[in-house]
Amino acid sequence: MKIITYNVNGIRAAIEKGLLRWIQDTSPDIVCFQEIKALEENIPVTEFEKLGYYHYWHPAQKKGYSGVGILTKIKPDKVVYGIGNRLYDDEGRFLRIDLDGLSVISVYHPSGTTGQERQDFKMQWLEYFRKHILELRRERPKLVISGDYNICHRPIDIHDPVRNATSSGFLPEERAWMSSFLLDGYIDTFRYFNNEPHHYTWWSYRAGARNRNLGWRIDYHMVTGNLEYQLKRAAILPLAKHSDHCPALLEIEPTH
């Protein structure tokens, strides 16, 4: 089973840059989108249907902002829109599909880059999200939690950890949250397979950052520890250029 997570930074803009052809050529079983920035009626969903996907969308109430979606070749048993708190659900940050014994989540954690108010919102969300996932595991113990976490966990995950030490996305409290989250029993699947530096999933549009590979690894496939022996491969796909992010891939053996 091939699962892609991709912050598309506007799904219609990404489609104009060749996203549909890329999905056709890559042929993932599931795609978790973040930052779709569109209502479902404004997305050319029939194009995804032609490629063989069921599709589900949880947009933000605010136009042109946030929102998550999931494409899947396997029809879900259940689809859950939102995390159960309108404060967050109005921003379209959480979407879950249940496939037999496996649940796949597309999540878009807030950014705190616009000021202290949003940074506080981010930290409150992170704690709510963590508790929600812990409770969910009682009912759905096998989880793939894919998305844009807006956090670089370790210095290896960011091109300049010294200068970014006070930047949202690499703050000590955010990194501590990520460490605590992983200790709850999750695997950062990319780092499970690859401990080399210079692998990033987001680059600023400024100063030719992408061409110089001055990036941040903020997009993750996190899985519950009970899926460890089903992990086959994890990779970052920087050649896909439909966004300021690139996709990340996870391959797992199907759950039976």
**Among all residues, which ones are annotated catalytic?**
148
Q: Which of 143, 121, 120 is nearest to 132 (CA)?
A: 143
Q: Which of 106, 110, 72, 76 is nearest to 91 (CA)?
A: 110
Give CA–CA dist 128/51, Å, rounded. 36
8 Å CB contact between 199 and 220: no
Please tell me whether residue 3 adopts helix, strand or coil conformation.
strand
Give CA–CA dist 29/47, Å, rounded. 16
Q: Which of 151, 154, 167 is nearest to 110 (CA)?
A: 151
Please tell me whether residue 144 adopts helix, strand or coil conformation.
strand
Can you read off the two tokens belonging to residue 154? 């370790």
